[in-house]
Chain A
Amino acid sequence: GAVVSQHPSWVICKSGTSVKIECRSLDFQATTMFWYRQFPKQSLMLMATSNEGSKATYEQGVEKDKFLINHASLTLSTLTVTSAHPEDSSFYICSAMRGYSPLHFGNGTRLTVT
């Protein structure tokens, strides 16, 4: 089946620094990639949708200058958390799909900001 690789799986950073998370579709070209965050014991919250050839569409309440999304190619999307703060500590997950295909999820990145 289709594989989505997310890296790193966990990261600890100091407050004020930036962290980049990568999401790669390994065996298919993803026309759409999604980024989510999930707080403990809560459901997924969609942060942004990134379609091939266009800028990411951010959900209401998500700061696009803080969470920079780059859909560099059909197989790679990155999420950069800029000037991270402790409240940004969360579980970040990406998923990818092509057209009407099923969603394929990365394994997530646990970010801890100290």
Chain B
Amino acid sequence: KNEVEQSPQNLTAQEGEFITINCSYSVGISALHWLQQHPGGGIVSLFMLSSGKKKHGRLIATINIQEKHSSLHITASHPRDSAVYICAVRYGGSQGNLIFGKGTKLSVKP
């Protein structure tokens, strides 16, 4: 069974701090997604990774296929980054299944 573990569960940071959220999974995947869910419920897809590293603004996502591990980094964090960040892995090809981590609740204090 493919499990997805995220850490930490909760994270409080001061504005400007560098933040790292980790995601580990247990079997081979075809893609890994990082999602952001704001308090109102809306979900935004931040990254989809199958290898290497991607950067978008202050967000960086990396994945190590051999170690079955991905990290989401936020540089120069801001209160508007406060949200729940969710890691999801897809396995079984382009029409495969998704498994979600439990999410990391990030709170950035001004």
The closest CB in chain B to the CB of A105 belongs to: B43
Q: Say which one of B13-21, B68-76, B97-105 lies at the interface with A.
A: B97-105
Q: Say which one of A18-26, A61-69, A73-81, A95-103 lies at the interface with B.
A: A95-103
Is A28 interfacial (CB 8 A cutoff)?
Answer: no
Q: Across the interface, do A46 and B48 meet the contact criterion of CB distance under 8 Å?
A: no
- Per-position 1/0 for B17-43, Cβ under 8 A of A: 000000000000011010101000111
Q: Are A43 and B101 CB-contacts (below 8 A) given A100-B30, A103-B33, A103-B88? A: yes
Is B83 interfacial (CB 8 A cutoff)?
Answer: no
A4 smallest CB distance to B (angstroms): 10
Q: Across the interface, do A102 and B41 meet the contact criterion of CB distance under 8 Å?
A: no
A57 smallest CB distance to B (angstroms): 8
- Interface residue range, chain A: 20 to 34
- Per-position 1/0 for B92-110, Cβ under 8 A of A: 0011011111110000000
Is A44 interfacial (CB 8 A cutoff)?
Answer: yes
A52 smallest CB distance to B (angstroms): 8
Interface size on B (CB < 8 Å)? 25
Majority DSSP secondary structure for residues of B touching A? strand
Q: Across the interface, do B88 and A45 meet the contact criterion of CB distance under 8 Å?
A: no
Q: Are A46 and B45 CB-contacts (below 8 A) given A100-B94, A103-B88? A: no
B24 smallest CB distance to A (angstroms): 15
Q: Are A49 and B97 CB-contacts (below 8 A) given A43-B102, A103-B48? A: yes
Interfacial chain B residues near A43, Cβ < 8 Å: 84, 86, 100-103
Q: In the assembly, what is the distance between CA of A34 and CA of B88, in Å?
A: 13
Instruction: List 23 A-B pairs, Cβ < 8 Å.
Output: A32-B95, A38-B41, A43-B84, A43-B86, A44-B37, A44-B43, A44-B86, A44-B88, A44-B103, A45-B100, A46-B100, A49-B97, A49-B98, A57-B97, A91-B41, A93-B41, A99-B94, A100-B48, A102-B45, A103-B48, A105-B35, A108-B42, A108-B43
Q: Which A residues have a C-beta under 8 Å from some C-beta of B?
A: 31-32, 34, 38, 42-46, 49, 51, 57, 91, 93, 95, 99-105, 107-108, 110
